[in-house]
Amino acid sequence: MRFSAATTRKIQSVFLSEVENGIRQRPSSLQMENTYIPELPDGTESGLFLALDLGGTNFRVILLELENGVVVKEDVKRYHIGADLRVGCGIALFDYLAECVSDFVIGQGVQDIELPLGFTFSFPMIQHSLEVGILVTWTKTFNCQNVVNKDAVLLLREALERRGDTKVNVVAVLNDTTGTLIQGASQDRNTAIGLILGTGSNACYLERADKVQHWETERHGEKEVIIDIEWGAFGDNGVLDFIKTEFDRENDANSLLVSSFTFEKYISGKYLGELTRITLAKLTKEGLLFEGHAPGALLTPGNLTTDLVSHIEQDTLDGGSNNTRDVLARFGVTATEEDIAIVQYVCEIISNRAALLVSICLATLLEKIDREESTIAVDGSLYKHHPRFEGWMNQYIHLLAPGHKFKLMHAEDGSGKGAALVAAIALRLK
């Protein structure tokens, strides 16, 4: 799990070639999807906007008031989407989304106002324009029938029309990653990359429009466009298999979608805890940990979550062991000093590999876009809460993209604020 310099360079060159293949529409594990967002916020965005955020931990409806590109007022309501709706009939899901929109809009007393809506739909889509997003596959905890290969915007519009009790107009579809870049750009004009490090992971960047081959709408002299990499799937075609360890194979085998979203399984919040658990279980089985006696709880997939890895990593930073003991006690383990050191070491190796992999790809992007200065807008709990991730990323990106000035910036709530800004940009383009 520790990469040599040669392996690091190889990953960098494989990623670059997948990026270039994807953008030229040649076979690649990277979708490199055109988002049709050709402009960043310019500080003129004003008015009332709705944002709908589906695909994160919560489903949210948000009313935002923008004044000169800045959110001056925000009201949000979270709605629960039950398991039956998540895996049921697609029409029922979209009817429920429309019902939540109505409930919220009427609750806010704005049902008679024309409200442009930005729909954050954080699933892999093929976009034909800023307001057409065809679902490629469901991911995370969703698997509704009759939605794959259909336009999520059309399904939402039809559901809103069936109710007919609001004046909501869906004007743009985006995902959380794009929203993060846009939200970042409203704070810092140098923002050129958007990154999510949460349950899943993905990145997008500003590409020169003349390099993008997939373009279905009429062109209006756009100079740049945001490309959604969908890097969670990097390596699904086998190009990254040279880094796969036995622990990764087991992690993949235990996952919901085997052999899919390969890269995400090395780096995202959904998997780092499980990878750690698998590694600790294996070391125990070999008699190297806990005197060879693994408690049942440690042998159960899904039992060690990534927040616990962060908790243990905090000990390593502080030179302590209280957090590690606390986590192990939850598993019913009384650990020796040596056990503690090994557990901390495993958490470090797995977290560090993830930070290095993300940095390798970001450094490749920085070299590719080759700007004087680039800001990378980031959101997601793994980035926000892991005590060492950001530090490692700064260190590794500097090493791997020497001479490229960059800044990591936390862009809070790209899927809400970013969606409102994209809706405003969509109106400006009309």
| Residues in contact with ligand ADP by the rule CB under 6 A | 56-57, 198-199, 269-270, 305-307, 310, 380-382, 385-386
To the nearest whole angstrom, how small is the minimum distance from the Cβ of residue 382 to ligand ADP? 4
To the nearest whole angstrom, how small is the minimum distance from the Cβ of residue 415 to ligand ADP? 7
Q: Which is nearer to ligand ADP, 290 or 389 (CB)?
A: 389
Q: Which is nearer to ligand ADP, 199 or 375 (CB)?
A: 199
To the nearest whole angstrom, how small is the minimum distance from the Cβ of residue 55 to ligand ADP? 7
Q: Which is nearer to ligand ADP, 386 or 417 (CB)?
A: 386
To the nearest whole angstrom, how small is the minimum distance from the Cβ of residue 385 to ligand ADP? 3
Residue nearest to ligand ADP (CB): 198
User: For residue 27, what are its two tokens?
Assistant: 């076979």
- DSSP per position, 59-70: EEEEEEEEETTE
Contact at 8 Å (CB) between 89 and 144? yes
Contact at 8 Å (CB) between 212 and 227? yes
Q: Which is nearer to ligand ADP, 140 or 214 (CB)?
A: 140
To the nearest whole angstrom, how small is the minimum distance from the Cβ of residue 424 to ligand ADP? 23
Burial class (CB in 10 A: 0-12, 13-18, 19+), 4: exposed
Q: Which is nearer to ligand ADP, 34 or 306 (CB)?
A: 306
Q: At a CB cut-off of 8 Å and minimum separation 6, what does 416 contact? A: 51, 53, 60, 62, 64, 74, 76, 120, 179
Q: Which is nearer to ligand ADP, 38 or 56 (CB)?
A: 56
197-224 burial, b for 16+ CB within 10 Å, e for fewer?
Answer: bbbbbbbbbbbebeebebeeeeeeebeb
Q: CA dihedral defined by 269, 274, 276, 278, rounded to 10 degrees? A: -160
To the nearest whole angstrom, how small is the minimum distance from the Cβ of residue 411 to ligand ADP? 12
Of 415, 423, 420, 424, the C-alpha closest to 180 is 415
Q: What are phi and psi of 167, to 5 degrees?
A: -115, 50
Contact at 8 Å (CB) between 315 and 387? no
Q: Which is nearer to ligand ADP, 58 or 149 (CB)?
A: 58
Task: State the distance between the two ends of the chain, measured CA to CA, in whole angstroms.
Answer: 50
Q: Return the amino acid letter for 358.
A: V
Contact at 8 Å (CB) between 207 and 23? yes
To the nearest whole angstrom, how small is the minimum distance from the Cβ of residue 47 to ligand ADP? 27
To the nearest whole angstrom, how small is the minimum distance from the Cβ of residue 398 to ligand ADP? 23
Catalytic annotation, residues: 140, 176
Q: CA dihedral defined by 100, 103, 109, 112, rounded to 10 degrees? A: 70
User: For residue 372, what are its two tokens?
Assistant: 């004087």
Contact at 8 Å (CB) between 356 and 3? yes
Q: Which is nearer to ligand ADP, 198 or 235 (CB)?
A: 198
User: ∠ CA(192), CA(381), CA(32), 5° rounding?
Assistant: 40
Task: Please list the residues that pair with 69 across neighbouring strands.
Answer: none
